Structures are given as C-alpha cells and as structure tokens.
Homo-oligomer: A and B are copies of this chain.
Amino acid sequence: MTHSFQHSQPIYTQIMEIFFQRICRGELGPGDKLPTVRETAVEVGVNRNTIQRSYMEMERRGVVETRRGQGTFVTTDIELLERLRQELARNQIFLFLENMRQLGYNPFEIMSMINSSMQAKEDTNS
C-alpha cells in the first residue's frame, strides 16, 4: 500500500490520522504493537524520519507509547482513546456539515435526509 497524500497538509499529520482511524475503528486495540517505523516507511513509501515524526506526535498526544528497543504500542488508557474517538467523530461531523452546506442544504434538510437514509438502511437489514 503506497498512499497518496494531500499537498495541503503535512504528510506526517496525515499518517498520524490514518493510525488514529485504525485505532478508533478497532483495527489496532489498546496495547497492540504498531508496525515498526521502518516497516511503515516502506509501506507508505516515505522517509523513515517522516514516520518517526508521526509516531512522535502520536506519543506526545498520549495515543501511543514507545519502548526503546521494543517498539511502539497503542496506549492502554481507554478513556484517552474514547476521547480520541469522540474527537474524530466531531471532525467527521464538521466536515460533513460543511460539505452539505456548500451543496446548498440547510440543517433541517440535512436532518431529514439522514433520517430517511438511515431508515432505508434499517429496512435493508430487517
């Protein structure tokens, strides 16, 4: 998997956000080991230092912990992970509302469209 990155944002933050997604979706659970800096560098096709910086920034936020000579691990602080999940959700909502607004939808229309969309889904499931 070689990723394509946006020009508008630093690569290291984009990589960080990819990991945040993986963690909040449960692909990486509390205490799980992240791939090594070198592995991730090869995987996404960027320099080791850039990955290093992503990991550093994640550690600064407390989302991961690094153990010298062993690797980098998702924190076991579940409350912090829950706060992260809420933050990502808020971001999703913000971007979504902004996109819808640009398409000319007002809050009321948005709510009703989501409602019908979710009901359609439920009908499919039942």
Instruction: Say if the beta carbon of A107 comes within 8 Å of chain B.
Output: yes
Q: How long is the Cα–Cα vector from A96 to B121 in the complex, in angstroms?
A: 14
Q: How long is the Cα–Cα vector from A25 to B60 in the complex, in angstroms?
A: 29
With A4-B5, A26-B104, A103-B88: A114-B117 Cβ-Cβ less than 8 Å: no
Instruction: Say if the beta carbon of A42 comes within 8 Å of chain B.
Output: no
Q: A103 and B24: CB pair below 8 A?
A: yes
Q: Which residues of A contact B (CB under 8 A)?
A: 2, 4-7, 21, 24-26, 60, 85, 88-90, 92-94, 96-97, 99-100, 102-105, 107, 110-111, 113-115, 117-118, 121-122
Q: Which 6 A-B pairs have the closest CB atoms?
A: A96-B96, A107-B118, A25-B102, A4-B4, A93-B117, A92-B99
Copy number in the complex reads 4
Shortest CB-to-CB span from A59 to chain B, Å, is 13
Majority SS at the chain A contact face: helix
Q: A103 and B97: CB pair below 8 A?
A: no
Contacts of A5 in B (CB 8 A): 4
Candidate in A88, A92, A114 with the most chain B CB atoms within 10 angstroms: A92
